């Protein structure tokens, strides 16, 4: 039987590995990734995070070693998340402003030991508050009080910049916080410190393992904190893009969508709406579900990991925060 007279045969471009590589549109490599790291006080061995296989809470000395190795693998930066001693937590998150607190000490140590590694610090109060919310509560305790919280975040930003942070990352979703942070940084002379804004952060059910890791869940007595008065409604795409563009107008240098995988439509729409670099955070729940399915033998971990990251990059992310960063970098070792 004669072949059909087809002028276009798309399979010609899929015929061999070399051809497929030649026409590949999207690639994810170590240079695209930021590694989130949990840091705790004290020494000894790293503490495993039970709900996040392979992820640990690092003591500072061991975190420095890990950071050196990440840099040697081609990962350009790390995002720090502190595990605060419960004895230091209070309703206002006062420990967040301690100049000798865990975050400033960690930033100083990292920039001294691995100066080429970019350091991103989180601007939010949930690791420091006894109630587990991202800010100071109103007098009746029913909600987070926006403006007093923003004032503290601006002070945190200056503290982190003083320690050497390359980027501060407001993750709280308070109104006006990017403008306040930019104003405070500039007033203190930190014109070069960047802002990675959690511009479209949703009130997601995917954050549970992270809250276990930093202890905000235990502080509040639940991993299901209701943050819907400040984090975005998962049903609202237009609102998310509008919020993100407000952060751009207020002086953000990079915009981030969080979580990544369930919100690829938002990421794609935001990519069309802005020329700023975009980041996306593949969050703890996304990581944990792939790990769990792979451990049950239901999925190939490496293949689904790589496919999930490709989807995020294809949707428009320039930078991906992922707990798979080290694994991906190791898999790319030796590649051109």
Condensed to tens digits (0 to 9), the pLDDT of residues 7-38 reads 999 999 999 999 999 999 999 999 999 999 99
User: Which listed residue (89, 227, 258, 313) is catalytic?
Assistant: 258
**Per DSSP, which regions of the chain are E strands?**
33-40, 47-48, 56-59, 77-83, 118-123, 167-170, 194-201, 254-258, 278-282, 319-322
Q: Which domain holds residue 188?
A: 27-331
pLDDT at residue number 1:
54
Cα gap 23→217, rounded to integer Å? 46
Cα gap 207→227, rounded to integer Å? 11
DSSP symbol at 46: P
Residue 226 lies in a domain: yes
Cα gap 107→113, rounded to integer Å? 10
User: Which listed residue (89, 201, 227, 313) is catalytic?
Assistant: 201
State yes or no: pLDDT of 227 exceeds 80.
yes
pLDDT at residue number 286:
98
Residue 70 binned pLDDT confidence (cut-offs 50, 70, 90): very high
Among the residue ranges 53-62, 175-184, 217-226, 247-256, the one predicted with the least confidence is 217-226
pLDDT at residue number 17:
95
Annotated catalytic residue 227 = no
Residue 197 lies in a domain: yes
In angstroms, how far is CA 295 from the centroid of its own chain?
25
Annotated catalytic residue 258 = yes
Domain count, the chain: 1
Closest CA to 159 of 108, 113, 198: 108
Q: What is the CATH number of the domain that holds 273?
A: 3.20.20.70
Closest CA to 229 of 90, 135, 123, 131: 135
Residue 39 lies in a domain: yes
Residue 78 binned pLDDT confidence (cut-offs 50, 70, 90): very high
pLDDT at residue number 334:
75
Residue 33 lies in a domain: yes
pLDDT at residue number 143:
95
pLDDT at residue number 72:
98
> Would you say 51 and 212 are in contact if contact means Cβ atoms under 8 Å apart?
yes
Place of tokens 């910049």: 161
Closest CA to 255 of 176, 314, 319: 319
Residue 217 binned pLDDT confidence (cut-offs 50, 70, 90): low
What is the three-class DSSP state of 191?
coil
Structure tokens at 85: 């001693």
Residues 6+ apart with CB under 8 A from 46: 56, 57, 58, 59, 62
Residue 165 lies in a domain: yes
Residue 4 lies in a domain: no
pLDDT at residue number 335:
76
């Amino acid at each position: 039987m004669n072949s059909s007279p087809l002028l276009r045969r798309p399979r010609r471009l899929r015929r061999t590995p070399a051809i497929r590589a030649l026409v590949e549109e999207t690639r994810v490599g170590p240079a695209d990734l930021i590694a989130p790291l949990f840091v705790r006080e004290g020494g000894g061995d790293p503490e495993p995070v039970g709900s996040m296989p392979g992820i640990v809470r690092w003591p500072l000395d061991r975190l420095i070693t890990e950071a050196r190795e990440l840099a040697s693998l081609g990962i350009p930066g790390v995002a720090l998340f502190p595990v605060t001693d419960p004895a230091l937590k209070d309703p206002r998150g006062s420990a967040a402003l301690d100049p000798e607190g865990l975050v400033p000490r960690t930033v100083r140590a990292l920039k001294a030991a691995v100066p080429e590694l970019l350091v991103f610090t989180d601007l939010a109060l949930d690791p420091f508050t006894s109630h587990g919310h991202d800010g100071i509560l109103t007098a009746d305790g029913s909600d987070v009080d926006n403006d007093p919280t923003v004032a503290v975040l601006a002070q945190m930003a200056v503290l982190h910049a003083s320690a050497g942070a390359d980027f501060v990352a407001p993750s709280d979703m308070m109104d006006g916080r990017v403008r306040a942070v930019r104003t405070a940084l500039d007033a203190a002379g930190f014109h070069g410190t960047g802002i990675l804004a959690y511009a479209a952060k949703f009130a997601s059910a995917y954050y549970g393992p992270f809250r276990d890791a930093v202890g905000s869940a235990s502080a509040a007595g639940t991993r299901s904190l209701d943050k819907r008065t400040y984090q975005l409604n998962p049903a609202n795409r237009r609102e998310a893009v509008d919020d993100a563009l407000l952060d751009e107008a207020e002086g953000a240098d990079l915009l981030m969508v969080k979580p990544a995988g369930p919100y690829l439509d938002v990421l794609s729409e935001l990519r069309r709406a802005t020329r700023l670099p975009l980041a996306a955070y593949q969050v703890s729940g996304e990581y944990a579900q792939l790990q769990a399915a792979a451990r049950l033998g239901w999925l190939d971990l490496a293949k689904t990991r790589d496919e999930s990251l490709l989807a995020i990059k294809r949707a428009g992310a320039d930078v991906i925060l992922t707990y798979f960063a080290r694994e991906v970098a190791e898999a790319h070792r030796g590649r051109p």
